[in-house]
Amino acid sequence: MRVLIVGALGQLGTDLCREFADTELFTADLDGGDHQLDIRNFAQVRRLIVGAVKPELVFNCAAAHNVPRCERDPGLAFAVNAAGARHLAAACKHVKARLVHVSTDYVFGRGHTHPLLETDMPAPLNVYAASKLAGEHLVAAECPDHVIIRTAALYGTAPCRAKGGRNFVEMMLHLAATRPVVKVVTDEITTPTCTAALARQMRLLAEKGAPGLYHATCQGACSWYEFAQAIFADTGTQIRLDPVCAAEFQSPVKRPEYSVLENRRAQEQNLDIMPPWREALRDYLAARGKASAP
């Protein structure tokens, strides 16, 4: 199978490359890989997919996902997350490739208290979320053989380029090592999702799932404060951890207060293999050599 991973040098792309190491794998990224690619440029996208690679399966992990920057620069957000996604979808349709496109829990707005299904109505609160939702619609309209995967709160062993290299786990450990007190919000609820687990799930959905929209996160839910508690507990880190409200950080970007997803559609097809979030965290810390002794 000829597989192309776009955004291959990012957190999720890196784990997808490991997952597909047994295939005829091609990688593309704005920063390099086998092919340097800017998905905003349709001519580049077409040359790569239609001309050079002719893949059977394409994964789009490329995104503008620095949320504050998207708020400041909507043109960039929509050029990458919407128009760029459409460019990939059009090229995939031309060569009859399946496109697996990554989206986000942020497409949902406020007022939710129960895990959200694929059939629930999105209501984006910020530019990033709106641009990702637009990308979903454009992929679905342009490429019949699509799999759109919404996920949440990603962390992985590769550097998070949109956040200066540190994911939430590494940032918490860095802050604990450099400050006497760490403050984390307790009124935003999500599901931390490890990219290694997500990559396995994405391969299964890509190979066996019916076309359409899927949710794919680890199982369960927690606040960012509870996530930090688990990180410190599982690494044996001694630090004062204070719960605070999101309003204390005075962010100019509106974010969902509750964006927990339910993997209903994968479950209905007996394809949901995502682990509990705490189990995935322990596996990540073990892989990083940071788990405390039992």
**Least confident stretch, 110-114, 124-128, 134-138, 149-153:** 110-114
Given this model, what pLDDT does residue 294 score?
62
**Averaged over 158-179, what is the pLDDT?**
88
Q: pTM of the prediction?
A: 0.95
pLDDT in tens, 170-192: 999 999 999 999 999 999 999 99
258 is catalytic: no
Q: Where are the domains of the chain?
A: 2-158+191-220+259-276
Architecture of domain 2-158+191-220+259-276: 3-Layer(aba) Sandwich (3.40)
pLDDT in tens, 216-267: 999 999 999 999 999 999 999 999 999 999 888 777 889 999 999 999 999 9
SS3 assignment for the chain: CEEEEECCCCHHHHHHHHHCCCCEEEEEECCECCEECCCCCHHHHHHHHHHHHCCCEEEECCCCCCHHHHHHCHHHHHHHHHHHHHHHHHHHHHHCCEEEEEEEHHHCCCCCCCCECCCCCCCCCCHHHHHHHHHHHHHHHHCCCEEEEEECCEECCCCEHHHCECCHHHHHHHHHHHCCEEEEECCCEECCEEHHHHHHHHHHHHHHCCCEEEECCCECCEEHHHHHHHHHHHHCCCCEEEEECHHHHCCCCCCCCECCECCHHHHHCCCCCCCEHHHHHHHHHHHCCCCCCC
- Catalytic residue, candidates 128, 214, 225, 258: 128
